[in-house]
Structure 1
Amino acid sequence: MSNEYYLKNPLIHRDRRLGRRHIAWVNQFDCTHMRPLIICRGPIRKEAMDVFEEMGITGYGILLSEKDSIVYQDALAPELRTLNEPDRVHRVPDYTGANKEERDQRIAQIIGIAKDNGYNSIFAGYGFMAEDETMVAAMEKAGLNFIGPCSRTVHDAGLKDEAKRTALKAGVSVTPGIDNGTALTLLKKHPDVAALKALVAERGLAVETAALDDDSIELADKADLVLAASYDKGIDLYTVDELCETLTGAVQKMAEDYPKNRVRLKAISGGGGKGQRILGIGEAHRTPEMVREILNEVKTTGVGDNKNVLVELNIETTRHQEIQAIGNGVWSMSMGGRDCSLQMHEQKLLEVSVTVESLQAAIEQAEAAGQAEEADVLRQDLQTLQEMEDEAARFGEAVGLDSVSTFECIVDRDKHFFMEMNTRIQVEHRVTELCYALEFTNPDAPEESFVVESLVELMVLLAAHGEKLPRPRRILRHNDSVEARLNATNQALQPSAGGVIEYWSDAVDGEIRDDQGISMHNPDTDVFMKYTLAGAYDSNIALLLTVGDSRLDTYERMAEVIRQTTMRGKDLATNLEFHYGLVNWFIGQNINARPTTRFIVPYLTAVGELKQKANDLDLAYAWQQICQVTLAAEQQAEPMGALKHALERKQTLLLRPLETLFREPHILAGWLSVNRDSYTVIDGKVSWNENPLELLADTYHFLNMDFVPGAPAASMIWDHDHEILQQALDFYNELNNRLQAGDWIELQSMLDEAAAPAGMEDTLWASIRGAHRGFQAGMDVLAVLPSIAEATGFFDLTVNSDLTIHIPERLLDEPLQEAMAKVLVPPPVAKSDEILAESGGMFYGRETPEHDAYVSKGDHFNAGDPLYIVEVMKMFNKVYAPFSGTIEEVLVDTDGVIISKGQPIFRITPDEKIVVESPEEVAARRRQATDQFLAALV
């Protein structure tokens, strides 16, 4: 291939490295002198290793935490298998440290490793260390090139309080609230400049007197200068109790000003869902409790830690959107947006690109279809995107952005508010880079240029050559992309640690799979290496991405990727089924729907209702009853023996896919969503708009159970069932060709007539009608699926004409939400005198180390009282009492120990006797519910 090809496609081929180009202007941006030390883990580490290799950077090294040793049994982590030099792997206790002292130790250790091994740069990926101002400054001071924003940018843009102040100065709209709770707390004790000067002198703080005397600086900003000096010295000037008092007052004031909104508390150093809590209406009194939880979660409880927590208005109808911002310290620009509204507990689940090109195409399509209201909404989205992109670029210039960062906003219909800037690459960065590439052109010779398609490569280029890089031009690659985060969570999306991935199917055409190398096979044996999902890390396993010419195209490709993905393992729980259901819900509803950040929990509740109804039904009993009704109805028309034989042959053909859908409520939700138009309810009964046999064949495909010769019987339609189904499909295909019916309803009407159509003999027609009755016999059982949806009101959760989502009031009821979460994931079966751990993780029996235990022996507790905290996959989850009772014995009394799901935590005496149904009572109840259900079905 020509040299020009490599210049235009710098991430296409491993040999197209900057160092091998032959144009002087391009050669000056060579990066082969870089020797980075990678100090992060997960998919971004593997991605960085691949990109470095492609750039010709071969002298990189990686950190390896001791905690990594538990994820592979008797094997190296996959990414380590590609490193043939063991001295490039450097072992550390963990990547970040649990507190300030440990963080400082780790920073010093990283610098020491870099100096001792000849590394000249640091790559921190998207871990929390990536936007730790102290760490970045320490790297810079040590003479190391940090591949990411400089410490000044991290300070001005990364700390949430500083960022909001900068945004206001740059004319960027921000969320109402306070960002200086610590300063206000300090001013309560030292209320003027004189008092601050006295404090500085008393504590020996490094604060310039001139700054305190400067009348142009606000008093609160002067208090911040004093606080910054105290953090540098490692001392506290306020207590957590004093801070909580200030923040409680701020929450109360916001509640008065915005009585219909909840309030969000957010640590300035939080991110990725950590360090945030939402206070409900009337819950200002819970502020101290929530603040302590936040500080514990982000590990800023030590002496000298900056404990500032923002108080913000929670925009209830918010959509979470973000703009990819880049800069070199001189210029700053944006690279389109991403919608990250599909999240739960501040953890993103499905992220989709938002581009000018995609929105323009969607507007044209809506106008052509006569959907004026939808087109208006899309036009407003386009305007909002362009405004956010403009603000992101201006904010980037204001903070001297010299790398890659993310400008995060919340969008409320036609309004948007700046939330924060994450001064690091994001987990979802590939959503952007799959839509846009960047072309750098010689200002003096336009024919000389090169293209960058990777944001990691861009970060290296900016770190290595910074201000020499001209402002690039963004080039469209794809209109749309979407990313599904494959996480180790159960069906209620709760973290589920400890499972083992024993098999993972290979990536399929159209799938972009980013993991840390888990999918790699052993290079010697070509077998999959088992991987343990350790609770020491967050729940993410991999990032699944697809691209397309439209959002619908992109989602359909994602659905196809997930359909063909198979994962198996011991105690393995993932959200793969959830994603399959969710993606198909949007395909079946409206792909341009505008969900808010509050959508997922009501959606999960609706799925839980499907599962609850399915649990109430006895499918095998339903089949027996339907067969009896069918035989009774057809006894005059068919030989009973032949019809009975036909039904017997069909039992597994029909029940196997139904059993799967009953067992997997998320997949059932997806099936119902894409098949909503396949039926109509007439007088309470399901009437099919398409041939149920064709729907059955589609269902086998939807469940990835297509017939594949030689495949395991457990994962495909059985060969004799496939034969029956294929005979039926061939029959109706031939019949359609002969009768040329317009649709299934017309064909049914023709078959209902005893008289043969013109041109067909009576005996042949009678034979056809008999075959038709035989093929359709027993198909009534399929109606249980839409009937479950109708019974639960599943389709009440729908997309409005203005693209908002109508959420029925019942799905917003918190007790129902909690109940349906337990339906999706039933708690461990406990004896009446025990409380068991609902998940594995690290146990804490108190709010903070300074607090008393939540409960002790002899204590009485009420339903809803906190009992303990479990930290699982980096998230702190407070566990509340499901009923009231008395603690008879504390079985786990040591903080920081690992507990497992189902482990007894307390021995208790409940206030009320717990009644448990016997198996016989459960069976009788299910049959009674099934009889009632069938009465309206057949």
Structure 2
Amino acid sequence: MKKILIANRGEIALRIVRACRDAGYASVAIVSDVDRNAPHARFADEVYHLEGTSPRETYLNQAAILDVAARSSADAIHPGYGFLAENEIFAAAVMDAGLVWIGPDAAVIARLGDKVAARAVAREAGVPVLPSIDEKALTIETARSFISEHGLPVIVKAQNGGGGRGMRIVREAYELESQIAAAEREAGLAFGRAQCFLERYVENARHVETQCLADRHGRVVVLSTRDCSLQRRQQKLVEEAPAPFLTDAQNATLVKASVDILSIVGYCGAATCEYLVTPEGKVYFLEVNTRVQVEHPVTEEVTGIDIICEMFRIAEGEHVSEHVPALRGHAMEFRINAEDPWAEFRPTPGPIMKLNLPSGPGVRSDFGYVSGDTIPPYYDSLVGKLIVTGSDRNETIQRARRAFREFEIEGVTTIAPLHRAILDRDEFAAYDAADFKVSTKWIDIELPALAEAARAFISVATPTGSGASDDDIVSPYDTSAVQGEAEPLSYRRGIKAPLSGMILEICVSEGDAISYGDVLAVMESMKMEQQVIAETSGTVTRINVQEGSYIDMDADIMGVD
């Protein structure tokens, strides 16, 4: 390999550009209309424009990406995560074009990237899986039959992709139809595939995973475990390595299960095997991510291994080292998402007026934006990641608190204050397993208290002795919904867009009578769905937008009299 095309954007594209520079490869970036001046474009050796803004026009456009590869004379493609990273059709097309696909073979992606097929592999390896509908089509009828046998709650999951997209928990039977429809719609938008399956949902479980590397010579190694239990709507927010408070037996189970699963399929590349650990200590297989993970830096920090460069070496046919380095210290990653935690994590695209990143011992910043950039509404909400490392978990937490005191961002609302509140909670900053109370639903359950605590961290501090009063302290955040309840997403009489995004569905017609609380439209922004709710009764007099169109915040969706 000499020149690598990066089929992605944002912080992961910049991460791969840097790895190319370190490893001696030329890098080729692709950019949509709104990413022309993004950092990954500015630092890549070559940049090619893909016309359009939506993912389907750009970063999901297989033909356009392969055309760029040909025009640039790239000889390899790294897909990053998301978009086409786990699409076996694209992987096969890359290989058919005579290019090196920096990832597992297409046939392996088909077996493991599809969560249903991956469960069959896990069963073959003797690894326990949760009850699910995965051998027949998911329909309302099959879902109801499953619930009758296994009870509630259940979770609807996209068969392909990851990142919490296309997932919906069903706790009441009446929610089933709408939640399946929402999961399928979201999966189609995020991954180009709408297929979903149903699985029994375990309350109060931890999400634990293994970072693996495998080569073409049959060797599979597990670098470390990670804990990714701190989630909001199945979207990971905080990750750490190694996973704390596991027994030796649990660690051994995780390593053996991961090696067995990847060995069965002849895996080659970087992989993450994900599991649930129940409150009783049982380990259940969830899925395999056939790509690099957002949270890969925490494993890099505790092993000293550059996982992206290892992917390059594996793609070149080199051996994975038999020697797994001893873990050194502890690392945590905090995702900085452009979302409003006081308004149901509503996406907050827009211009970044100021961005000051922390530094000092143990602090790494992987960001896809800089001051002056605009976060577009067309892609996900990840602005960047703060990765903090210490000699042990306690030192890591102390350094993280220091890092967030230094972190500054203005112009867009982010979840950074929420991280500061999490770091101060005893259930998270525990010293032993008995006091560690974090599970995949912990943030959802504790959000009102966390949001209230986060208010203390959102004001811009004024210099000591400045004489400023409380009225002079400026806050860029809206805390009116601090108890975690989103304000209704509509306006009196004329209905305006509450955020920038795409109109997925218009739920009413001109002339329809509407009442308070009716769902008028469904929008999608930064890969998250948001309903537009009527705040008043009336009659729809006109509809100004079409399904599938992108609109700006405050654009007129419809008129109501």
TM over 0.5: yes
Question: 2:24 corresponds to which residue?
Answer: 56
Matched residue type, 1:146: W
SS in 1 for 2:84: helix
- Give yes or no for contact 1:295–1:301 (8 Å, CA) kept in 2: no
SS in 2 for 1:594: coil
Q: CA 1:480–1:301 in 2, change beyond 3 Å: closer, same or farther? A: closer
2:325 is the counterpart of 1:475: yes
2:259 is the counterpart of 1:393: yes
- Give yes or no for contact 1:65–1:92 (8 Å, CA) kept in 2: yes
- Give yes or no for contact 2:82–2:161 (8 Å, CA) kept in 1: no
Q: CA 1:558–1:587 in 2, change beyond 3 Å: closer, same or farther? A: farther
SS in 1 for 2:397: helix
- Give yes or no for contact 2:86–2:109 (8 Å, CA) kept in 1: yes
Q: Aligned-pair RMSD on alpha carbons?
A: 3.0
2:230 is the counterpart of 1:342: yes
Question: 1:840 corresponds to which residue?
Answer: 500
- Give yes or no for contact 2:272–2:293 (8 Å, CA) kept in 1: yes
Matched residue type, 2:420: Y
Q: How far does residue 878 in structure 1 lie from its aligned partner after superposition?
A: 2.9
Q: How far does residue 405 in structure 1 lie from its aligned partner after superposition?
A: 0.8
C-alpha distance in structure 2 between counterparts of 1:157 and 1:879, whole Å: 37
Q: CA 1:547–1:129 in 2, change beyond 3 Å: closer, same or farther? A: same
Q: CA 1:149–1:96 in 2, change beyond 3 Å: closer, same or farther? A: farther
C-alpha distance in structure 2 between counterparts of 1:842 and 1:470, whole Å: 44
SS in 1 for 2:85: helix
C-alpha distance in structure 2 between counterparts of 1:904 and 1:306, whole Å: 31
Question: 1:35 corresponds to which residue?
Answer: 3
Question: 2:68 corresponds to which residue?
Answer: 113
2:300 is the counterpart of 1:433: yes
Question: 2:477 corresponds to which residue?
Answer: none
C-alpha distance in structure 2 between counterparts of 1:107 and 1:891, whole Å: 34
2:424 is the counterpart of 1:584: yes
Q: How does 1:781-796 map to 2 (within 5 A)?
A: none
C-alpha distance in structure 2 between counterparts of 1:894 and 1:95, whole Å: 17
- Which of 465, 478, 484 does residue 821 from structure 1 map onto? 484
Q: How far does residue 321 in structure 1 lie from its aligned partner after superposition?
A: 1.5
Using structure 2 for the length normalisation, give the TM-score.
0.89
C-alpha distance in structure 1 between counterparts of 2:347 and 2:53, whole Å: 22
- Which of 489, 511, 525 does residue 339 from structure 2 map onto? 489
Q: How does 1:386-465 map to 2 (within 5 A)?
A: 386-413=252-279, 414-437=281-304, 453-465=305-317
Question: 2:548 corresponds to which residue?
Answer: 896
Q: How does 1:34-113 map to 2 (within 5 A)?
A: 34-57=2-25, 59-69=26-36, 76-83=37-44, 88-93=46-51, 98=56, 106-113=61-68
- Give yes or no for contact 2:226–2:239 (8 Å, CA) kept in 1: yes
- Which of 390, 401, 418 does residue 559 from structure 1 map onto? 401
Q: How far does residue 591 in structure 1 lie from its aligned partner after superposition?
A: 5.5
C-alpha distance in structure 2 between counterparts of 1:503 and 1:171, whole Å: 52
Instruction: Flag the structure with higher helix content.
Output: 1
2:538 is the counterpart of 1:886: yes
C-alpha distance in structure 2 between counterparts of 1:819 and 1:62, whole Å: 40
Matched residue type, 1:871: E
Q: How far does residue 425 in structure 1 lie from its aligned partner after superposition?
A: 0.2
Q: How far does residue 819 in structure 1 lie from its aligned partner after superposition?
A: 8.9
Q: CA 1:560–1:395 in 2, change beyond 3 Å: closer, same or farther? A: same
- Which of 173, 177, 182 does residue 293 from structure 1 map onto? 182
Q: CA 1:307–1:42 in 2, change beyond 3 Å: closer, same or farther? A: closer
Bigger Rg over Cα: 1
Q: CA 1:118–1:904 in 2, change beyond 3 Å: closer, same or farther? A: closer
Q: CA 1:325–1:419 in 2, change beyond 3 Å: closer, same or farther? A: same
- Give yes or no for contact 1:497–1:841 (8 Å, CA) kept in 2: no
2:121 is the counterpart of 1:166: yes
C-alpha distance in structure 1 between counterparts of 2:410 and 2:426, whole Å: 27
- Give yes or no for contact 1:266–1:311 (8 Å, CA) kept in 2: yes
- Which of 389, 393, 401 does residue 547 from structure 1 map onto? 389
Question: 1:249 corresponds to which residue?
Answer: 141
1:608-635 CA-to-partner distances (Å, cap 9, x unmatched) read: 5x4xxxxxxxxxxxxxxxxxxxxxxxxx
Question: 2:352 corresponds to which residue?
Answer: 501
- Which of 375, 380, 394 does residue 533 from structure 1 map onto? 375
Matched residue type, 1:565: F
1:89-113 CA-to-partner distances (Å, cap 9, x unmatched) read: 11113699529xx989x32333333
Q: How far does residue 119 in structure 1 lie from its aligned partner after superposition?
A: 1.4
C-alpha distance in structure 2 between counterparts of 1:350 and 1:90, whole Å: 33
Instruction: Flag the structure with higher strand content.
Output: 2
Q: CA 1:589–1:394 in 2, change beyond 3 Å: closer, same or farther? A: closer
- Give yes or no for contact 1:39–1:95 (8 Å, CA) kept in 2: no
- Give yes or no for contact 1:495–1:539 (8 Å, CA) kept in 2: no
Matched residue type, 1:354: P
SS in 2 for 1:79: helix
2:444 is the counterpart of 1:601: yes
2:249 is the counterpart of 1:383: yes
Question: 2:214 corresponds to which residue?
Answer: 327
- Give yes or no for contact 2:544–2:558 (8 Å, CA) kept in 1: yes
Q: How far does residue 67 in structure 1 lie from its aligned partner after superposition?
A: 3.1
- Give yes or no for contact 1:827–1:838 (8 Å, CA) kept in 2: no
> Sequence identity, in percent?
25
- Which of 119, 128, 131 does residue 176 from structure 1 map onto? 131
Q: How far does residue 864 in structure 1 lie from its aligned partner after superposition?
A: 4.5
C-alpha distance in structure 2 between counterparts of 1:859 and 1:109, whole Å: 42
1:1-34 CA-to-partner distances (Å, cap 9, x unmatched) read: xxxxxxxxxxxxxxxxxxxxxxxxxxxxxxxx43
Q: CA 1:118–1:888 in 2, change beyond 3 Å: closer, same or farther? A: closer
1:686-743 CA-to-partner distances (Å, cap 9, x unmatched) read: xxxxxxxxxxxxxxxx9885xxxxxxxxx3222579xxxxxxxxxxxxxxxxxxxxxx
SS in 2 for 1:838: coil
2:529 is the counterpart of 1:866: no
2:131 is the counterpart of 1:265: no
Question: 2:476 corresponds to which residue?
Answer: none
C-alpha distance in structure 2 between counterparts of 1:110 and 1:335, whole Å: 32
Q: CA 1:395–1:248 in 2, change beyond 3 Å: closer, same or farther? A: same
SS in 2 for 1:129: coil
Question: 2:463 corresponds to which residue?
Answer: 716
Q: How far does residue 829 in structure 1 lie from its aligned partner after superposition?
A: 8.7
Matched residue type, 2:80: G
Question: 1:627 corresponds to which residue?
Answer: none
2:329 is the counterpart of 1:666: no
2:81 is the counterpart of 1:126: yes
Q: How far does residue 601 in structure 1 lie from its aligned partner after superposition?
A: 2.0
Q: How far does residue 898 in structure 1 lie from its aligned partner after superposition?
A: 3.4
Q: How far does residue 313 in structure 1 lie from its aligned partner after superposition?
A: 0.5
Q: How far does residue 61 in structure 1 lie from its aligned partner after superposition?
A: 1.4
Q: CA 1:141–1:875 in 2, change beyond 3 Å: closer, same or farther? A: same
Q: How far does residue 577 in structure 1 lie from its aligned partner after superposition?
A: 1.1
C-alpha distance in structure 2 between counterparts of 1:393 and 1:64, whole Å: 37
Q: How does 1:338-377 map to 2 (within 5 A)?
A: 338-355=226-243, 359=244
C-alpha distance in structure 1 between counterparts of 2:77 and 2:43, whole Å: 20
C-alpha distance in structure 1 between counterparts of 2:465 and 2:59, whole Å: 57
Matched residue type, 1:312: E
C-alpha distance in structure 2 between counterparts of 1:94 and 1:898, whole Å: 12
C-alpha distance in structure 1 between counterparts of 2:540 and 2:257, whole Å: 59
Using structure 1 for the length normalisation, give the TM-score.
0.54
2:241 is the counterpart of 1:280: no
Q: CA 1:589–1:456 in 2, change beyond 3 Å: closer, same or farther? A: closer
Matched residue type, 1:391: A
1:96-152 CA-to-partner distances (Å, cap 9, x unmatched) read: 9529xx989x32333333233321111111122111000001111111111111112
Return structure 1 stretches of 4+ with deviation > 6 angstroms.
Answer: none
Matched residue type, 1:603: E
User: What is the number of residues matched between the two proteins?
Assistant: 544
2:364 is the counterpart of 1:512: yes
SS in 1 for 2:366: strand
C-alpha distance in structure 2 between counterparts of 1:350 and 1:421, whole Å: 19
